[in-house]
Copies of this chain bind each other. A is one copy, B any other.
Amino acid sequence: MSTTLRKLEVASPVPADIDIANSVEPFHISDIARELGLGPSHYDLYGKHKAKVLLSVLDELQGSGDGYYVVVGGITPTPLGEGKSTTTVGLCQALGAFLDKKVITCVRQPSQGPTFGIKGGAAGGGYSQVIPMDEFNLHLTGDIHAITAANNLLAAAIDTRIFHESTQSDKALFNRLCPPNTEGKRRFSNVMLRRLKNIGISKDRPEDLTPEEVKKFARLDIDPSSITWRRVMDVNDRFLRKITVGQGSEEKGMTREAGFDISVASEIMAVLALTTSLADMRERLGKMVIGNSKAGDPVTADDLGVGGALTVLMKDAINPTLMQTLEGTPVLVHAGPFANIAHGNSSIVADKIALKLVGSGGFVVTEAGFGADIGTEKFFNIKCRYSGLTPQCAVIVATIRALKMHGGGPEVVAGKPLDPAYVTENVGLVEAGCVNLARHISNTKAYGVNVVVAVNMFSTDTEAELNAVKTAAMAAGAFDAVICTHHAHGGKGAVDLGIAVQKACESVTQPLNFLYPLDISIKEKIEAIARSYGAAGVEYSEQAEKQIELYSRQGFSGLPICMAKTQYSFSHNAAAKGAPSGFILPIRDVRASIGAGFIYPLVGTMSTMPGLPTRPCFYDIDLDTSTGRVVGLS
């Protein structure tokens, strides 16, 4: 039995998240690490309650067995969220603190921007939380700051390179790139050798290049209109969505329309989430494509000479951060890519380390963003494809509230009072809404895992409503369907879910089965995913056709597909609840994250930079300077 488990005294009604989080004194993180078999050489402490687990742990445990691998997805949510993170944490508290299993929760690091905007923090809720809550939501161990720094160094390199190329001859450019040393000798740096290889010049002495090769090497000739690399900031700053840069007089009129995304939308975040080692990260960062040359060839970070520097900036970020739940079970927080323009899952390295640390018979529970149509689909077809890992069980979180919405209930709007339909019994609405759950179950089951439905129970839910969900879930092929009260009761409220998940893992029989193979065309892959949404077909804009043609010509058609679609419907229309079918899915544009390793078709417009409301959360946030404690975080 672990020495770091904490017995919770639960209060009713459930207090505010921050009050619950502050009501317990976290264990020193080295105690949590010790329970996992980790000694001081295996991690770097970041204060008393966070530690970065070093990647070298993976090498050390190479020969040992993996635990069971469980992914948590959800039905199509309401704008209020259905408690997927809370369920992920609660399930782990149950497995670790009540069922005596070795367990690690793997979750995404939240963006700091929304913490000060509308949304507040993201560490679970009620009696199922990751603590300390303020450290989880702010800075953490600096990974997102490292991404911001790396992303923007690359951005600065792009504009500055265009600027310098515009004012220098091929020869002058080459002389500056490969200056003679004190003995008059020139040399290529390693990253220049990568570029030479990319452009097919197999020479390694600068003096051997012909004038033509000098030009080809030194002049990237970036087409400014093709640049897809944007700057980032981990702040909700809507006024940076579209800007003009280069208006200073020293920039000599080389203005350009550009923009900022929030940092977690950076391709580098997706790279962090999908990489498997330092060497792999170096390759991925170097081959990120920022745009094209005027001749239509992709221009990479390594072409700009900056792939190595980006890796240096990211070298600590690759190590996942160990934290703990309210009940003292271990958590690995790592990476938080968008779930639309990226794949919305926490990192491969965190899951891999976790699987080794819990070992055979243990459990790793990892969360996939958005509904299962998006997060779980990408978990399997992108994340598992790159990791080579095989999950045994997928949990699908549902609420009576969301099912009623899918059954035809009134619109649910954040910040407005709920319609009475959602807080009084209406079995008919629930039954009708189960079409949404059923499609998520059958889609997920097709990957070869056992599906357990977790109904995140609210106090207004009735037994008849809950039974209706169970019945529908089993009819749709679920392995089990369980009612959970972890928000109100912590791990104790998810013990039945824990038992069901354990049985599901132990009794899985099928192999992992992807939705599509990689070696078909981009369009065929898009169409396979669209069919899983219920679409009858796909419609491509002219721009989308052009991009598909470009990426195919550039040799990128073998990548998996990452659909940028609303999470509020199976279809592209957020208002189409339930299980719509027969629609034509429109593809507005197609983009690519070559370093991360996927093509992302845009189904509609995705906002990649949130704004602040008239009264942002920050009005309530302050430091109690006498105790050093954060107040007002929600």
Which positions in A face B, CB cutoff 8 Å? 44-48, 52, 112, 116, 134, 138-139, 142, 145-146, 148-149, 152-153, 155-157, 159-160, 163-164, 168, 173, 176-177, 179, 189-192, 231, 233-251, 254, 256-257, 259, 277-279, 281-282, 305-309, 311-313, 315-316, 611-616, 618-623, 625-626, 628, 630, 632-633
Kindly list chain B residues whose C-beta atoms are within 8 Å of the C-beta of A46. 44-47
Given known A-B contacts A168-B614, A615-B179, A251 and B238 have beta carbons under 8 A apart: yes
Determine which of B153, B249, B309, B618 lies in contact with A309 in the assembled complex, contact meaning CB atoms within 8 Å.
B618
23 contacts between A and B (CB under 8 A): A44-B46, A45-B47, A46-B47, A116-B309, A138-B312, A145-B148, A145-B149, A153-B618, A156-B235, A156-B612, A177-B619, A231-B237, A231-B240, A241-B247, A241-B248, A241-B251, A242-B249, A243-B246, A279-B626, A306-B616, A311-B625, A312-B623, A315-B623
Q: Find chain B residues with CB under 8 A from A238 CB.
A: 156, 159-160, 163, 248, 250-251
Q: A139-B316, A160-B611, A240-B245 are in contact. Are A278 and B235 (CB under 8 A)?
A: no
With contact pairs A618-B306, A632-B308 given, residues A241 and B250 touching in the complex (Cβ less than 8 Å): yes
* Nearest chain B CB to A221 CB, angstrom units: 15
Q: What is the CA–CA distance of A240 and B160 in the complex, to the nearest angstrom?
A: 11
With the chains together, A175 CA to B112 CA distance in Å? 26
CB distance from A197 to the nearest CB of B (A): 15
The chain B residue sitting closest to A317, CB to CB, is B139
Q: Which residue of B lies closest to A115 (CB)?
A: B309
A625 touches B282 (CB 8 A): yes
CA distance A281 to B46 in the complex (A): 23
Residues of B within 8 A of A251 (CB): 238-239, 241-242
Most buried by B among A191, A244, A249, A618: A618
Known: A44-B47, A44-B48. 20 other contacts (CB 8 A): A116-B309, A138-B313, A145-B149, A148-B148, A152-B233, A153-B235, A156-B235, A156-B236, A156-B612, A160-B612, A176-B614, A189-B620, A191-B619, A231-B233, A239-B248, A241-B247, A242-B246, A243-B245, A277-B625, A309-B621
Q: Please give me the residue from chain B that is nearest to A278 by CB atom.
A: B625
- The copy count of this chain in the complex is 2
- Given B234, B315, B614, which contacts A628 in the complex, CB threshold below 8 Å? B315
Q: Is the CB of B308 within 8 A of A237?
A: no
Given the contacts A44-B47, A177-B614, A191 and B622 also touching, CB distance less than 8 Å: yes
Q: Distance (Å) between the CB of A254 and the closest chain B CB?
A: 8
Contacting pair A612 B116 (CB below 8 A): no
CA distance A628 to B153 in the complex (A): 21
CA distance in complex: A45, B307 (Å): 30
A234 x B149 contact (CB < 8 A):
yes
Compute how far the CA of A157 lies from the CA of B281 in the bound complex, rounded to whole angstroms. Answer: 35
Chain B contacts for A239, CB-based, 8 A: 156, 159-160, 163, 245-246, 248, 251, 254, 256
A544 to chain B, nearest CB (A): 21
Nearest B residue to A218, CB-CB: B614
Contact for A190 among B52, B134, B622, CB less than 8 A: B622
Which 8 residue pairs are nearest across A and B when measured between Cβ atoms? A308-B622, A145-B145, A309-B618, A156-B237, A242-B248, A241-B248, A44-B47, A45-B45
Q: Which residues of B contact A173 (CB under 8 A)?
A: 614
Q: Which of A145, A234, A256 has the most CB of B within 10 A?
A: A145
**Do A157 and B245 touch across chains, with their CB atoms under 8 A apart?**
no
Given A179-B615, A305-B618, A623-B308, A244 contacting B241 (CB threshold 8 A): no
> How far apart are A442's CB and chain B's nearest CB, in angstroms?
39
Provide the residues of chain B in CB contact with A116, threshold 8 Å.
153, 309
- The answer on a CB contact under 8 Å between B628 and A278 is yes
A508 to B251, CA, bound (A): 52
Q: For residue A315, which residues in chain B have a CB less than 8 angstroms away from its CB?
A: 623, 628, 630
A139 near B134 with CB under 8 A, answer no
> Which residues of chain B have C-beta atoms less than 8 A from A612's C-beta?
156-157, 160
List B contacts of A241 (CB < 8 A).
247-248, 250-251
User: Are A619 and B305 in contact, with the CB atoms below 8 A?
Assistant: yes
What separation, in Å, do the CA atoms of A592 and B131 have in the docked complex? 40
Contacts of A146 in B (CB 8 A): 139
A633 to B313, CA, bound (A): 12
| CA distance in complex: A368, B619 (Å) | 37
Question: Which residue of chain B lies nearest to A158 when distances are taken between CB atoms in the complex?
Answer: B239
In the bound complex, residues from chain B placing their C-beta under 8 Å from that of A152 are 233, 235, 237
Tell whether, in the assembled complex, residue A311 and residue B160 are in contact, meaning their CB atoms are under 8 Å apart: no
